[in-house]
Amino acid sequence: MKISKEEILHIANLADLNIEEEEIEKYALNLQDILNFSNIVNNAPVDELNITIGANEKKNVFRKDEIKVFEDNEALLQNAPSKEQNMFKIPKVL
């Protein structure tokens, strides 16, 4: 399937691109290359392949949420730029 000049101009208009007359052929060749490659991918033989979702088999490798009590709150609060009532004081977030 050959890309026409009118199709290039229509796509450029949809994408709000201002292309010059001498650029149309370059865009047509690039778009044709993309369409040819997508045609190769679409026609690739995949009948005998196993389904693959990711590169490895790991799923949900998140750590479990656990409450841990920190014994030395004073040492922790020494790092705070500002504190109030034995807690970190942060700017209001609205």
Three-state secondary structure of 62-83: CCCCCCCCCCCHHHHHCCCCCE
Give the pLDDT of residue 10.
Answer: 95
Give the pLDDT of residue 64.
Answer: 86
**How many CB atoms sit inside 10 A of residue 8's CB?**
20
Strand locations in the chain (E): 83-84, 87-88
Tell me the Cα Rg of the chain. 29
pTM to 2 decimals?
A: 0.48
Which pLDDT tens digits describe the chain residue by residue (94 residues)? Answer: 788 999 999 999 999 999 999 999 999 999 999 999 999 999 988 888 777 666 777 777 788 889 988 888 888 888 888 988 888 898 888 8
Give the pLDDT of residue 45.
Answer: 87
d(CA 39, CA 73): 63
